[in-house]
A and B are shown apart, each in its own frame.
Chain A
Amino acid sequence: SQQGEEDPQALSIQEGENATMNCSYKTSINNLQWYRQNSGRGLVHLILIRSNEREKHSGRLRVTLDTSKKSSSLLITASRAADTASYFCATDASTGFQKLVFGTGTRLLVSP
């Protein structure tokens, strides 16, 4: 399978609920990043977690990283309709320059 596989592929929830997306990868990494993409639009950087970190918070976002399992999760708490988007994890295993390997993404739909 590919480096950076997210699951689920699609997630549909109601506003106010929490959304959890998972990412698995194959190789050792320097860091893992999460990006958001609204339909047909650009990529927005959400959060970066380094390989020596286990958890990171940013507003309503919580990211965990388990390097022993080569997996990460993105939790969005108290979701809003505006959170509807695709979410991608991207891993960087390169030295010096960041060559990101993106996952397939999770499409999140938050209904009002």
Chain B
Amino acid sequence: EPEVTQTPSHQVTQMGQEVILRCVPISNHLYFYWYRQILGQKVEFLVSFYNNEISEKSEIFDDQFSVERPDGSNFTLKIRSTKLEDSAMYFCGLERQSNYGYTFGSGTRLTVV
């Protein structure tokens, strides 16, 4: 069983629609991150989350994006009004301790049409 599960694995959505990507860690983690990878490009940092608040976010993470841990377990990334350029693989990354390397989820492929 994977340590980190991301759902859905693939989502196709219409431009302007809201999407919620979910990350479910199996065991306790302290630090949570979202990254994205546009097809053929680098993996890019979006946001880090610790102690139920955002600790850092990138320029990409604008007002259309939000993150939360609604029930203390799931870690979600919401895009309020998707744009074509939001099409990418989205990865959540988790750490139990700082500076020990991430465990990444298997990713959600988001396609905005």
A residues engaging B (CB < 8 A)? 2, 4, 30-31, 33, 35, 40-45, 48, 50, 88, 90, 92, 94, 96-105
Contact = CB atoms under 8 A, between A and B. Distances in A.
A98 B43 contact: no
B27 interface: no
Majority SS at the chain B contact face: strand
Contacts of B91: 42-43
B28 interface: no
Contacts of B42: 2, 4, 102-105
Interface stretch (B11-19, B63-71, B99-107): B99-107
B107 A42 contact: yes
Contact of A97 (B43, B55, B101, B103): B55
Interface of B: 31, 33, 35, 42-45, 48, 50, 55-56, 89, 91, 93, 95, 98-107, 109
A97 B104 contact: no
B105 A97 contact: no
Nearest to A50: B99
Nearest to B49: A97
24 contacts: A4-B42, A41-B106, A42-B91, A42-B107, A43-B102, A43-B104, A43-B107, A45-B101, A88-B43, A90-B43, A97-B48, A97-B98, A98-B48, A98-B98, A98-B102, A99-B33, A100-B35, A100-B43, A100-B45, A100-B102, A101-B45, A102-B42, A102-B44, A104-B42
B95 A98 contact: yes
A96 B56 CA distance: 11
